[in-house]
Amino acid sequence: MWSRVTAALRPAASNGAVRRFGTFDGVFLPTLLTILGAVMYLRTGWVVGNAGLLGAWAIILLANLITACTGLSISTVATNIRVGAGGSFSIISQSLGLEVGGSINVPFYLAQSISVAFYIFAFAEGWQSIFPSHPAVLVLFAVFAICCLVAFVSVGFAARMRYPILFIVTFSLFSVLLGLFPLFGQAGAVYTPTLIGAFPSGSFWQIFAVFFPAVTGVLAGVNMSGTLAQPRRNIPIGTMAAVAVSFVIYMALAYWAAVVATPQELVTNLTIMVDRAAFGWAVQAGILAATFSAALNSLVGAPRVLQAMAAHGVVPFGQQLASETDGGEPRPAMLVTGAIAFVTLLFGLSGDGLNQIAPLMTMFFLITYAVLNGVVLLEQVMGLTSFRPLFRVPRLVPLVGLVGALLAMFLIAPIFSLVALITIVVLYEVLQLRQLNAPWSDVRSGLFGTIAEWGAKRTLAMPQGRDRAWKPSLLVPVDSARAVRRSYRFLMAITRPNGSIFILGTYGEGDHERTKGLLGYEQIFASEGIFARVALVRSEHFTQALQTTLEVYRSAFFRPNTLFLPVGAEDDEEELQFVLDRAGENQLGVILYMDNPLTGLGREQAINVWLREQSPGWAVGLELSNLDLALLLAYQLARNWRAHINLITVVEDAAEAANGRAFLEQLIDLGRMPRTTQAIVHTGAFDAVLPAAPQADLNIFGVQQRASLGFMQRMVDVTASTCIFVRDSGEESALA
């Protein structure tokens, strides 16, 4: 039985295909009929009574300015991308990613679901103006059941109902217009308009909050994007035509209300249009038709937003909520939407349903409008080639829409607005943790790339000050993944939390297998919060590949500033010297890492930094001689290891010991080293005092012009620890 009923009511579609709608029936009609709804009939006069004619016009103009800018922004995006199902969700997600699209559209979907109850309350007010004896609760839930039944049957059946509803609304407006003429008017009096009202029911922004749902229908057509034949054409034309027509109607109705009744009557009599129209029954029919249509449009459109979010895993039970019938009806999403509307009806029964729900809807819609305008403004500012809409608007349009929506939010209810924004941020973080995968690319990477490019150009135009902006950025040339694994903990300790690592993997003919595992280190380091990039270069000669890489990086803005090389006593010293010379020519600091196979990094609790004797000039100047990188690395390691630092210098003349200690203490002070850092001065020959130094897990030495692998190995053996040997590039400063 039920299948025969639904088959009879469902619109015909060839071969079971989903019916596609055009500009008029798919966008213009649902948008216009949603806008010309409850507020037009039941609150336009109330707004004029509170604000006066000029105040009402200001409210209408401001509300329409926000929605018109939003409509223009939507039209721009709709002609630039393939708008998929879900309307605003599709637009925002394709621009800013699923996480942003979901975090904005979850509350927007709730607002649409709540609006179903809003329009049903409006229907009940209109019904009771005709049949005051009918219980409000019975009317509410009866029309709710009918609305659900129509929406549940099919979107095509709901669309066909719009034509008789349009006729009824149009005739009711004609009847209202005739009420101005004495021949037809029921009151027979024309009043001088009150230009500025006394606002007896609340402030300007409270009146604005009640009126604003009148214009929220701007997304009614957009939400049906999945059922449109040509979204790029249908959405701009249908949306803006509906906005323009409805704006003229509201401005005219405000004037009508101002001249047919006193402000007191307008505030207290919510059905003033019925009383003052030429044919009151026509207005009553219009109220019922418009509010029923608006409720139906929301009940049809909201589930499609939920279905689109579910299809991309944004909401729980995605597989179930994303399912639809053969005719394209999202039945599970409709049931959830109906449940939310039902709960909202119960909530509205506790007070003045219409005025209680309206501000809540306003907040959610304003947030969505702000983001939609922000998306277009962002795309325009970035100037990416991919943003080439067929319908262009000046930047002022989305800017006005964005600022207007945000200002209206915080002027209406600042605390609720702040809570709403925090909720969106929390939703965004939750969705980020779920690692959603979108079938499209968005502009987020382009956004940060554009910001980085702008910053790079600005930086290059300024006097260079790399020493103040220094942070560890390591170039790590290796010939296998095992080489990175060997020094992984140390690399992590140097670069955390805001450093970066550039791994250069070199391989020869038929030797690619050894470097394959290197690519995985991008994600491994990323899991530790460290930015890492891996480049694989085919070359038979390690030094040539490294030299080419150094020269290429020299001209890059985001480039490594320090060369990190694990070394061993068996390495070729001449080849090492060649690499050091090339690093110096390309202004890279150098870290030569030689680990102790017996102790490794030990307990990672103590670090010795060996500083060469400075006599006779012990003064700490603006620049240090090959000491900066050693001190910076020691500080970085001590912070991540929570280790203790010893600054050690050796003087041959005992008379210089006091100068040496003062130098180290001044270095600790000016370099803002950790408070636990100790200054240690030894007297005698370096080789003699070396065994007497405090035991450390890591020893740091400077590298002179010539590197000696024999010296390095001896330091590792004598100190019984892993050692690093560093040389400054000249762009570091421990005192900056």
**DSSP 3-state of 647:** strand
Transcribe 392-415 into DSSP letters: ---THHHHHHHHHHHHHHHHH-HH
Are 412 and 525 members of one domain?
no
Give residue 155's pLDDT.
65
| Residue 121 included in any domain | yes
- Give the type of residue at 290: A
| Residue 646 included in any domain | yes
**CA gyration radius for the chain?**
36
* pLDDT, the chain, mean: 82
The rounded percent of the chain whose pLDDT value lies above 70 is 85
| pLDDT at 351 > cutoff 60 | no
| Residue 455 included in any domain | no
| Location of structure tokens 């005719």 | 327
In DSSP terms, which residues pair with 682 in a beta bridge? 650
Residue that finishes a domain, picked among 563, 592, 621: 592
**DSSP 3-state of 538:** strand
Token pair for 479: 């010939």
| pLDDT at 659 > cutoff 60 | yes
Give residue 133's pLDDT.
87
DSSP at 21: B
> Which one is predicted more confidently, 241 or 347?
241
Show the domain range for 234: 21-433
| pLDDT at 547 > cutoff 70 | yes
Are 264 and 250 members of one domain?
yes
* Predicted confidence (pLDDT) per residue in 586-635, tens digit: 888 999 999 998 998 999 999 999 998 887 778 776 666 778 899 999 99
Are 497 and 425 members of one domain?
no
Q: How many domains does the chain have?
A: 3
Q: What is the CATH number of the domain that holds 229?
A: 1.20.1740.10
- Give the type of residue at 705: Q
Are 576 and 601 members of one domain?
no
Q: pLDDT band at 242, cuts 50/70/90?
A: very high
CA dihedral in degrees (515, 516, 518, 521; nearest 10)? -170
| Residue 1 included in any domain | no
CA dihedral in degrees (368, 372, 374, 375; nearest 10)? 140
Give residue 124's pLDDT.
85
Are 220 and 331 members of one domain?
yes
Transcribe 183-250 into DSSP letters: TT-SS---PPPPSS---TTS-HHHHHHHHGGGGGGGGTTGGGGGGBS-HHHHHHHHHHHHHHHHHHHH
Distances (CA, A) of 166 to 32, 229, 290, 292: 9, 22, 8, 12
| pLDDT at 216 > cutoff 50 | yes
Give residue 355's pLDDT.
55
Q: What is the CATH number of the domain that holds 640?
A: 3.40.50.620
pTM of the model: 0.65
Lowest mean pLDDT among 247-251, 536-540, 571-575: 536-540
Give residue 511's pLDDT.
65
* Predicted confidence (pLDDT) per residue in 270-279, tens digit: 888 888 888 8
> Which one is predicted more confidently, 283 or 364?
283
Which is nearest to 245 in space by CA: 40, 500, 539? 40
Which is nearest to 344 in space by CA: 361, 330, 367? 361
Give residue 570's pLDDT.
86
Give residue 513's pLDDT.
63
Are 65 and 126 members of one domain?
yes
Are 679 and 635 members of one domain?
yes
* Burial degree of 692 (CB within 10 A; 0-12, 13-18, 19+): exposed
Residue that finishes a domain, picked among 592, 625, 653: 592
| Residue 603 included in any domain | yes
| Residue 155 included in any domain | yes
φ, ψ dihedrals at 86, nearest 5°: 100, -5
Bond from prior residue into 472 cis (ω within 30 degrees of 0): no
Q: How far is residue 332's CA from residue 329's CA, in Å, rounded to a whole number?
A: 9
602 φ/ψ sector (left φ>0, alpha ψ -120 to 50, else beta): left
Are 682 and 696 members of one domain?
yes
φ, ψ dihedrals at 510, nearest 5°: 65, 20
45 near 273, Cβ under 8 Å? yes
In sequence order, what are the residues at sequence separation of 6 or more whose Cβ sits closer than 8 angstroms to the Cβ of residue 511?
none
- Residues 457-494 as b/e (b if ≥16 CB within 10 A, e otherwise) read eeeeeeeeeeeeebebbbbbbbbbbebbebbeebbbbb
In DSSP terms, which residues pair with 354 in a beta bridge? none
| Residue 575 included in any domain | yes
* Burial degree of 426 (CB within 10 A; 0-12, 13-18, 19+): exposed
Q: What is the mean pLDDT of residues 169-189?
A: 74
Give residue 459's pLDDT.
61
Are 168 and 293 members of one domain?
yes
| pLDDT at 564 > cutoff 70 | yes
Are 536 and 407 members of one domain?
no
Are 611 and 588 members of one domain?
no
| Residue 504 included in any domain | yes
Give residue 16's pLDDT.
42
> Which one is predicted more confidently, 95 or 579?
579
> Which one is predicted more confidently, 219 or 430?
430
> Which one is predicted more confidently, 544 or 580?
580
Distances (CA, A) of 481 to 188, 243, 352, 491: 92, 62, 69, 14
Separation of CA 155 from chain center: 33
Residue that finishes a domain, picked among 592, 619, 639: 592
Are 575 and 628 members of one domain?
no
**DSSP 3-state of 559:** coil
